[in-house]
């Protein structure tokens, strides 16, 4: 069963300034700020929510399709996807745009200054879910505003169950729009901060929202996650990570675990347990796509953590 992953593909350029920012910014001169931070450490990562989710699904043995819009500089990412065996059939390249990218500078106190260029991502509505014949499950993850609205409608029209994962794109939508995007959705996924924002924007509690879909899944970082379904809620414990290196992409790894469980016909409890494990594996590595456990290793770690076979 093919999973269609709608969302962003992006480059993340991450730089480290070897001092606190505060030592180089004069508080009383903020109105004429003009600073330069020399960054001797820099790395470039492959990212974007769709890319990260699809990468984790591939680790789990799935063969997902990515639906995204990219720019003329997509060549290195295209080569990576090909090497990973991930299809590019629903990735549209726009030759007059750059691929979405984030430029992140971190100081020695873990403060960050980020510049994000959406580039081709804002044209994600040019892709249509109807063109992905054969998809049986999907996810609408952060992307261009019009694209997210269009893809949610596309899944609903086609009768394809999907997860709505508004993430950092949530501020782009009104409460009415967020609720409209849930029509036809199987589930809503949010982190604890996004959950409060969703409630505030829509005027609905998570329990009320859970009545509109099959489940609402809220991640809570180191405290695990909570699933609201069937008028009830239950907690899923976190899995102890081998190291706490970088949280970038942990939510995407979690969502891949959910999708894998759903496409295999599991209940929400088991799917969320696998999702928790995938997040813990990711956080021990830098970037969103640098962890590479085999399917057998994932299964062994799942059994160790939860006492049941995957």
The pLDDT value given to residue 247 = 87
The pLDDT value given to residue 112 = 87
CB 155 within 8 A of CB 129: yes
- Token pair recorded at residue 157: 């029209």
- In this predicted structure, the answer to whether residue 71 has a pLDDT above a threshold of 80 is yes
Of the pLDDT bands very low, low, confident and very high (cuts 50, 70, 90), residue 206 is very high
- In this predicted structure, the answer to whether residue 1 has a pLDDT above a threshold of 80 is no
The pLDDT value given to residue 290 = 97
The pLDDT value given to residue 77 = 98
* Domain spans of the chain, in order of start: 2-25+36-306
Please provide the DSSP assignment of the chain as one string.
-EEEEES--EEEEEEE-SS-GGGG--GGGGGG-------SEEEEEEE-HHHHHHHHHHHTT---EEEEEEETT-HHHHHHHHHHT-B-TTEEEETTSPPEEEEEEE-TTS-EEEEEE-GGGGGGGGS-GGGSTTEEEEEE-S--HHHHHHHHHHHHHHT--EEE--GGGGGGS-HHHHHHHTTT-SEEEEEHHHHHHHHHHHS--HHHHHTTSSEEEEE-GGG-EEEEETTEEEEE-----S-----TTHHHHHHHHHHHHHHTT--HHHHHHHHHHHHHHHTTSSSSS-----HHHHHHHHHHHHSS--
The pLDDT value given to residue 140 = 98
In angstroms, rounded to a whole number, what is the distance separating the alpha carbons of residues 279 and 260? 14
- In this predicted structure, the answer to whether residue 145 has a pLDDT above a threshold of 90 is yes
Q: Kindly state the average pLDDT of the residues 149-176.
A: 97
- Token pair recorded at residue 128: 């249509």
User: Measured in whole angstroms, how far is the alpha carbon of residue 92 from the centre of its chain?
Assistant: 19
What is the reported pTM? 0.95
Reported as a single tens digit per residue, the pLDDT across 247-272 is 889 999 999 999 999 999 999 999 99
Is domain 2-25+36-306 given the CATH code 3.40.1190.20 in the classification? yes
The pLDDT value given to residue 292 = 97
In angstroms, rounded to a whole number, what is the distance separating the alpha carbons of residues 23 and 102? 24
- In this predicted structure, the answer to whether residue 110 has a pLDDT above a threshold of 80 is no
């Amino acid at each position: 069963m093919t999973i269609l992953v709608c969302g962003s593909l992006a480059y993340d350029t991450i730089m480290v300034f070897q001092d606190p920012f505060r030592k180089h910014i004069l508080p009383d001169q903020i109105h004429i700020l003009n600073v330069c931070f020399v960054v001797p450490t820099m790395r470039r990562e492959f990212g974007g929510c769709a890319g990260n989710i699809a990468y984790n699904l591939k680790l789990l043995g799935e063969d997902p399709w990515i639906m995204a819009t990219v720019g003329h500089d997509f060549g290195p990412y295209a080569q990576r996807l090909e090497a990973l065996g991930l299809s590019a059939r629903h990735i549209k390249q726009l030759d007059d745009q750059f691929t979405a990218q984030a430029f992140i500078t971190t100081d020695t106190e873990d403060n960050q200054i980020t510049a994000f260029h959406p580039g081709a991502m804002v044209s994600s509505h040019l892709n249509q879910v109807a063109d992905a014949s054969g998809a049986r499950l999907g996810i609408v993850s952060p992307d261009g505003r019009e694209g997210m609205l269009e893809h949610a409608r596309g899944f609903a029209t086609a009768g394809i169950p999907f997860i709505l994962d508004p993430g950092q794109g949530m501020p782009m939508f009104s409460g009415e729009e967020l609720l409209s995007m849930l029509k036809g959705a199987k589930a809503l996924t949010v982190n604890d901060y996004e959950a409060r924002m969703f409630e505030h924007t829509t005027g609905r509690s998570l329990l009320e929202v859970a009545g509109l879909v099959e489940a609402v899944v809220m991640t809570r970082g180191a405290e695990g996650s909570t699933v609201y379904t069937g008028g009830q809620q239950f907690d899923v414990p976190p899995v102890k990570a081998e190291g706490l290196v970088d949280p970038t992409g942990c939510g995407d790894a979690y969502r891949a675990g959910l999708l894998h469980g759903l496409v295999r016909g599991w209940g929400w409890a088991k799917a969320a347990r696998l999702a928790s494990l995938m997040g813990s594996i990711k956080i021990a590595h830098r970037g969103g796509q640098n962890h590479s456990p085999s399917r057998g290793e994932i299964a062994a770690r799942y059994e160790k953590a939860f006492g049941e076979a995957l």
